[in-house]
Structure 1
Amino acid sequence: MTTVQETAVVRYGIWVACPAVGAAAVWGLKLAAGWITTLGWFPFQGVFELATNVPEPWVTLAAITIGAVAGFVFALFWAKEMMSVEVGHARVTLHKDDKTFGFGRDEVESVFADGKQLVLLSPRGAELARETSDLSRARLERAFTEQGYRWRDADPFAHEFRMWVEHAPELPADVNALFTARRKAISKYETAEAAELAREIRKRGVSVRDEKKRQYYRCER
């Protein structure tokens, strides 16, 4: 069994780095509050005016605390979106967004990386999974090939994808509805929701990938 995940520096360092950066950023804004109040066009003028009126050391303590809490919340979201991959001779397991996806050896025909996305293909060419991560492509390739899985250099079905448009006649109404909901999620940068909707679309026999906020699909064989 081979496990591929973010380095320990990333997995544990975010809990220190993110709060520290958040605290430093808000503290920097606090130092610049007096100057910012002279810029009439700058938003949240009331907040910066309040910062100039609160006495020390309370304003500094409040700024550092608010920034640290914001950084900690960001670290929580970051940690949730990290993916780890367990590759065994008999099974592949992905952990992402507090979810676990497992596939038996006979279900996985081949694997490849499409940009930052790891894609697992079935013997029929269906996409079993397409999950985004910052994991090293070289480490993923090594993990799969060492366990005897076929690693592809590129998507063998890339030429079959077509851009999705509203009410695409080739797709059932429920799939079009999922694409519409997913377009809204993408526009609002709701990445977890967009990923979950993509999984629902794949369950209905349609592969989906993105390019610059545009959705592309192919009907699986």
Structure 2
Amino acid sequence: MTRELGFSPPDRVLVAAGPAAVGLLLTAVLPIVARWALGLGIALPFRAVIRVIGAVDRPWELAVQGAILVAAGLFVTLVSHERLVTITVGPGEARFGEVSVARGDMAALYLDGETLIVLDRESRQAARCLPRARRKVLEAAFREWGFPWRDSDPYAALYRPWNPGEDGLPPAVDAVLSARAVAVRRKAAQEAGEMLTTLEKLGYSVRDDGDKQLWRPLVRS
């Protein structure tokens, strides 16, 4: 027996129809707001764009603008469905998208902002995802099935800010952190994520605090 943790009915409606509804609302509101802003007689950034928006008043122009904004809303819905993951919980394991983790292999599950993180017995990230279910639903289900749910990262106190050439870190780890810092600044998420895996193989966990990297040694439980 398993249980799927996905969108609640209200959330499903919100994700499916909300962005498109916002697009329709903006179709009616944007030209009015643009004309009001132009009438203030003050310097405006992107004034040419605002003037174009304010000039939209004919039915066919509103229809075209509405179609564009609704299409943008539907694209947001599609992206949300792809990024947000349905989690399946069973008596012996849980599935996070394409990744399955046995309950006995987990040391902790917790939410870091909107991201659900699963740590294994060596405190490595066994899985991470953006869940479709809300926090209360996740917590209740995982506790009911005996999974090690935590309110926060149980190893948070072990993290230290990384500084290049810091004493105590092996040269190989420092080199990967240096390369990853560049990837983070370039917003190369995939490359930075791959380096996290490399660092875990070297015995260290890393998380980001803005543009700073925090590190800690892995902990076996």
TM-score, with structure 2 as normaliser: 0.76
Alignment of 1:1-221 (within 5 A): 1-38=2-39, 39=41, 41-51=43-53, 56-95=58-97, 100-133=98-131, 135-165=133-163, 170=169, 171-185=173-187, 194=189, 197-198=192-193, 200-205=195-200, 206-221=204-219
Secondary structure at the residue paired with 1:119?
A: strand
Identity percentage over the alignment? 25
Q: 1:103 to 1:53 in 2, by over 3 A?
A: closer
Secondary structure at the residue paired with 2:186?
A: helix
In structure 2, C-alpha distance between the alignment counterparts of 1:150 and 1:54, rounded to whole Å:
56
In structure 2, C-alpha distance between the alignment counterparts of 1:199 and 1:143, rounded to whole Å:
31
What letter is aligned with 2:121? P
Contact 1:30 1:60 in 2 (8 A): no
What residue ranges of structure 1 are gaps of 5+ in the alignment? 186-192
What letter is aligned with 1:91? E
| Structure 1 vs Structure 2 CA RMSD | 3.0
In structure 2, C-alpha distance between the alignment counterparts of 1:136 and 1:11, rounded to whole Å:
12
In structure 1, C-alpha distance between the alignment counterparts of 2:77 and 2:44, rounded to whole Å:
28
Q: Per-residue CA shift, 1:137-186, capped at 9, x if unaligned?
A: 3322222233232233443211111123456662242343224312432x
What letter is aligned with 1:128? A
Q: 1:66 to 1:157 in 2, by over 3 A?
A: same
What residue ranges of structure 2 are gaps of 5+ in the alignment? none
Structure 1 position 11, deviation (Å):
2.5
Contact 2:159 2:214 in 1 (8 A): yes
Contact 1:168 1:176 in 2 (8 A): no
In structure 2, C-alpha distance between the alignment counterparts of 1:55 and 1:9, rounded to whole Å:
34
What letter is aligned with 1:17? G
Kindly tell me the number of residue pairs found equivalent between the two proteins.
Answer: 210
